[in-house]
Amino acid sequence: AQSVTQLDSQVPVFEEAPVELRCNYSSSVSVYLFWYVQYPNQGLQLLLKYLSGSTLVKGINGFEAEFNKSQTSFHLRKPSVHISDTAEYFCAVSPTTNTGNQFYFGTGTSLTVIP
Amino acid sequence: ETGVTQTPRHLVMGMTNKKSLKCEQHLGHNAMYWYKQSAKKPLELMFVYSLEERVENNSVPSRFSPECPNSSHLFLHLHTLQPEDSALYLCASSQDVVTDRYFGPGTRLLVL
């Protein structure tokens, strides 16, 4: 079975500072990995995804993530955050053999950017 | 309309009411999903449809009844709900069941 752990439930950071949101997963099979963002009163929006190839993945809004197979991690980073980045961030994992219900989300990390 | 749309955006209902949530995807995807998002809890997958066939029902109470008349539309029929069913209900679609989900804006449901 797969699972996703987002170690930090809340991350406050000052504007223009760098941020890293941590995500670890457990799986006995190959996986695809995703990061989503959810702004207040909205649905989830895909930030980036890792399917194969380069382990450094670049997404929208200046975010990037690095897949580390040995550490089973997929941490999300941004070198300089804006106020508008304040939102909930979800990591998700799907085995490459997913038959429909095996798309697992973490519990989310609430990022608050402080002016 | 583009992406995934959901109506209504907000819904207040009594425990004896019957209501339906509607979802429509304009992406040509083959799979659609209902998720429940409650405060401080992980997203809960409720139903999965792939090519209009239900793939999975994660032990959801029978007071929630999904309907998928075609690959672009998904409904969630609600009947005699409980206050603990109050949550944000998110619809999503994907090209297939393995790839990333595209989410709608959600319906904020309050059961009184």
Q: Nearest CA of chain B to the CA of A77: how many Å?
A: 20
pLDDT interval class at B1 (50, 70, 90): low
Q: Nearest CA of chain A to the CA of B23: how many Å?
A: 13
Which pLDDT belongs to residue A65? 97
Angstrom CA distances, B9 to A3, A56, A89, A90, A111, stand at 31, 37, 22, 22, 25
Which chain A residues are closer than 8 Å to B102 by Cβ?
46
pLDDT tens-place string over residues B70-89:
999 999 999 999 999 999 99
Between chains, do A100 and B50 touch, taking CB under 8 Å as contact? yes
Q: Is B15 helix (H, G, I), strand (E, B) or coil?
A: coil
DSSP string, chain A: --EEE-S-SEEEEETTS-EEE--EEE-SS-EEEEEEEE-TTS-EEEEEEE-SS-SEEE-GGG-EEEEETTTTEEEEEESS--GGG-EEEEEEEEETT--SS--EE---EEEEEE-
| Contact B66/A at CB under 8 A | no
Q: Who has greater pLDDT, B50 or B12?
A: B12
pLDDT tens-place string over residues A56-115:
999 999 999 999 999 999 999 999 999 999 999 999 998 888 776 788 899 999 999 999
User: Rounded CA gap, B5 and B11, in Å?
Assistant: 15
